[in-house]
Structure 1
Amino acid sequence: MRTWSTPALAVLCLSGAGMLGATGLFLGALFLHVAPANALSERYQQQVDDIVYPEFEQNWKLFAPNPLQLNVTVDARVQTVSDTGRVHTRDWVGLTAQDTAAVRHNPAPSHVDQNMLRRAWDFYDSSHPDQDGAVAATERGRLAEEYLKRIALQRFGRTAGGERILQIQFRSSATPIAPPAWSRDQPAAPDAPSRELPWWPVNDEDYRGLR
């Protein structure tokens, strides 16, 4: 039977306590994020946002969640440059269509396919309410831009058609989801039926950490 030395036991106990503490802190931050506004969530709002955004944002509330009433699709296209310096604008690629194809007929669809792009666009849309596509002035807005861009670039890679990617552009459209036949509700009208963003430059830093 293997026995542990006192220093080894101390390290194991401290590591376990640290992991439990970090897990508790993370779960507590998520709870405050989805819970109704209260004294704790208001006092530690900045700390909670630092932990939750952007990877762990939750699209639900602790009480009475509202189901989605719009189908939002996101497309992207890129501009590339050839070895001779000629710039090409590529065709639009349906990012949401890729996720839908991966989910459809899949008995155990990936959480990433279902939610990552959708939540990234919601994050961007909520942090850029002016609808003009201007670069955000806030740290949260800049984080939303970087998050959306990196998700798309992970799919495109560094090249398209054998040429280096220079810029990327996004567009979105929203289609109301019809209510069931027995409901008297009217379909939700999108505030912005379509949205096309300006071109964003792409550099090596945008690929940092991407596979």
Structure 2
Amino acid sequence: MKNKVLLLDIDYTIHDNSLFKNLLGKDFQSKFSISKNKIINIYKLLLNETGFFKPDLFVERLSKEIGYDHKIEIKNILWQKKRFKQTLYPDTRLFLKKIQDTIDTYIFSKGDKLFQTAKIHSLIKAIEPSGVFIFKNKYNKLNNTVKKFKGKKVFIVDDSPDIINKIKSIDNKIVTIMIKRPKFNKNYDYSKKTLADYVVKNLTAAAKIIESK
């Protein structure tokens, strides 16, 4: 076990959620008489209604739209393993490989646990065996999560300004790296002042910071 710990977000950090929605829409459009944009809009609507994506609710809503006799097929399309793997950002694997000898990596994410875990399934060897923390309300779990690593040098890489600011208020010594991808999460207000130690556009830059500390 290393002295440095990384709390790593999933959506818009290591996983391209915009690309995922786009490919998901295309897959349904090619199979059923429903437009790609309608699929994306249903996905976004459910996300806004519940605060995070609930796969069972998505399957139910689409079954109502397409037909309940297609429910199993709809579920299978949603959970297609290839798409989860395809929609990791290109720099994700190299990032994890570069930092693996210097830091223990833990996933710290918000959402449905099974669905979020499916996104990182192909990366699981690069993550600590007990290192997947996925909560329905990530913001409220920050304090308890940070306490698990008392005595360690903690880093966080996340795209949420609110998470970055909250974690700084808990412990100012935590090294905070906010990632803002070219196609970022439109639900976040990046005009607000951030307490992030660093703001980067990709994981290559984040790796350099982690290695230098």
Structure 2-normalised TM-score? Answer: 0.22
Q: Which has the higher helix share?
A: 2
Structure 1-normalised TM-score? Answer: 0.22
Question: Higher Cα Rg: structure 1 or 2?
Answer: 1
Task: Using CA pairs under 8 Å that are at least 6 residues apart, name the structure with larger relative contact order, 1 or 2.
Answer: 2
